[in-house]
Structure 1
Amino acid sequence: MTATLPARVPSLLSATAITFGRIMSAYRHSPALLAVTLAAPAGMMLLFGFVFGGALSGDGDTAAYRSYLTPGVLVLVAAMGLAATASTANADMASGLTDRFRALPLPTVSIPAGLALAETLTGGLALLIMAGIGLAAGWRIDTGIGATTAAFALLLLFRFAIGWVGICLGVLIRDEQMLQQVAPLIFGTIMFSNVFVPTESMPGAVRAVAEWNPVSAIVAAARDLFGAPGTVAADAAWPLREPIAASLLWVAVILAVTVPVVLRQYGAVRRG
């Protein structure tokens, strides 16, 4: 009599790699998705850097303003991927792909983790392309390789956290049309930040919102690490005075809030 061996359950790492490969395959067959992710930030770089740059720079030094602007645009590239991630998670739920994944002996966390990692990788490619556009527009990195590497690592970490926010929205908002309406709200949240102008130029209440916006901390940290021009006002809120520490804290908070919600939703799908 032949003994029946128990089915081998994939490890968390291998299961995550399975879902990661599936997402990357979708991007390989739809390269236009990357172009869509870059379209809005590249357009804003041209609009604010070249059309409005003279007015926004104050002293008329548009080249210095573009150097100030580019790290903020890189953060936009990372943040704008949220909508694509939300759409992918929503489509997987609606099409039944998530149900097919749940039929496999995969750890629950591996499904959203694979999606978040794949989106982070494509986000990294988008960041490199956008950095090239910034360099062509006159942006220069004025720090060493260590600080530059840390800046891109922080941007990727932020992209990873934003990916979980997108997955959270995608699984909580099942109506595709309603999900599409969330994108303008996200863009509005980004605008209440220091991406385009310093927060000290804003009215009191708006300034307070902007300085505690997680995007502002990430932008300020990127500017510090890239050596971009500009100084932080002495009376600025803590996230702008200690942007790197604040950025890491914001990333931790985002993950602490979204990951349990996502896992609960995917677990509910499995039980359903």
Structure 2
Amino acid sequence: MSVAALSPRRLRWAVTDALVLTGRAVTHWTRQPVELLIGLLFPVLLVLMFGYLFGGAMAVPGGGDYREFLLPGMFGLTMAFGLEATYTAVATDTARGVTDRFRSLPMARSAVVAGRAGADLLYSAAGLAVILACGRLVGWQWRNGMAAAAAAVGLLLLLRFALIWVGIHLALVLRRPESVMVLQILVWPVGFTSNAFAAPETMPGWLAPVAQWNPLSATVAACRELFGNPGWGGDSFAAQHALALAVAWPALLIAVFLPLSVRRYRRLSR
């Protein structure tokens, strides 16, 4: 049988195996509902803190409602902060030998990492739905119609999907769940060194370009534009081409870290 004839079968095999492992993660969530609820409600806590505790001290560029300015930034941060959960799940399976058991089974090599990516994307979509509903309750709204709002949600999930592969790769490299602190040290500065809360133009000269070219900044700026919410604006290339960069950055991250994750998984010692 030719390779061309085998390829569709192998693809179906890989997709089926990935779906089975995605279902495994969903089953874990149903058996640990408290942990699931805490993860989903944490972004809501952030919205309430920033929206009500600090909102009175924030000035919206060009005027307008602060919560409409805040929420797209919170949506983007929620996508970034979920990286620790991805890392912990993969590193825990690796440390406990679960990954080695999967490697001994007749399944597609890519299924384990693809299944984890699919499960985490479902979890992220649920978290995004919760924070969107919370935003509506506190007065946020989109103003450019459903199509533009759906495009903004798509960009947020695209960023999350890209970051999932970053988390999977780092977990397969470090392999220790307790090393998640290293990841948190990276995620939080990257999350706040963006345009989510402050205009890059107000930052020190050396830091402003970092914030402008932050992938999170591109997604947040593009979402503000699509939702019709107030934003920082700016004359830089990154500010003027936020929509293009909101697609280009995640695509680049996926192109780099997806094959690296699959390769690293294949090379794990038994």
Q: TM-score, normalised by structure 2?
A: 0.90
Q: Which runs of 4+ in 1 moved over 6 A?
A: none
**What is aligned with 2:155?**
154
After superposition, the C-alpha distances for 1:182-223 in whole angstroms (9 at most, x for unaligned) are 213211111100111222222221111100111100101111
Contact residue 221 and residue 231 of structure 2 kept, 8 A: no
Deviation at 1:180, TM superposition (A): 2.8
**Cα RMSD over matched residues?**
2.0
- Specify the alignment match of 1:44 in structure 2: 46
User: Structure 1 residue 41: deviation in Å?
Assistant: 2.9
Q: Is the 8 A contact 1:143 1:225 kept in 2?
A: yes
1:213 matched to 2:214? The reply is yes
The answer for the alignment partner of 1:169 in structure 2 is 170
Matched, 1:15 2:14: no
Distance 2:231 2:69 in 1: 7
Distance in 1 (alpha carbons) for counterparts of 2:158 and 2:56: 33
Tell me, yes or no, if the aligned pair for 2:84 and 2:167 is still in contact at 8 Å. Answer: yes
Q: 2:56 aligns with which of 50, 54, 57?
A: 54
1:156-187 superposed Cα distances (whole Å, 9 cap, x missing partner): 11111111111112111123322233213211
Name the count of aligned residue pairs: 261
Distance in 1 of aligned mates of 2:212 and 2:186: 18
Shift of 1:52: 1.5
Counterpart code for 1:54: G
Q: Does the CA-based 8 Å contact 1:217-1:247 persist in structure 2?
A: yes
In 1, Cα distance between the equivalents of 2:262 and 2:149? 34
Give yes or no for the alignment of 1:134 onto 2:127. Answer: no
What amino acid is the match of 1:148? Answer: A
Cα separation, 1, equivalents of 2:112 and 2:195: 34
Change beyond 3 A, Cα 1:39–1:207? farther
Deviation track 1:116-148 (CA, whole Å, cap 9, x = no partner) reads: 011001110110100111111110110111111
Q: Is the 8 A contact 1:165 1:258 kept in 2?
A: yes
TM-score scaled by length of structure 1: 0.89
Distance 1:253 1:60, change over 3 A: closer
What is residue 5 of structure 2 aligned with on the other side?
A: none
1:245 alignment partner in structure 2? 244
Partner of 2:264: 265
Residue in structure 1 matched with residue 90 of structure 2 by the alignment = 89
* Partners of 2:218 and 2:163 in 1: CA distance: 14
CA distance in 1, matches of 2:70, 2:252: 26
Q: Distance in 1 between matches of 2:248 and 2:266?
A: 27
Structure 1 residue aligned with 2:3: none
- CA distance in 2 between counterparts of 1:32 and 1:172 reads 29
Which residues of structure 1 form unaligned runs of 5+? Answer: 1-7
Tell me which of 13, 19, 36 is aligned to 1:34: 36
CA contact (8 A) 1:37 1:80 kept: no
Structure 1 residues 264 and 119 mapped into 2: Cα distance closer, same or farther (>3 Å)?
same
CA–CA separation in structure 2 for the residues paired with 1:18 and 1:188: 35
The match for 2:255 is 256
Residue 5 of structure 1 corresponds to: none
Alpha-carbon distance in 1 for matches of 2:177, 2:231: 41
Q: Give me the identity figure in percent.
A: 36
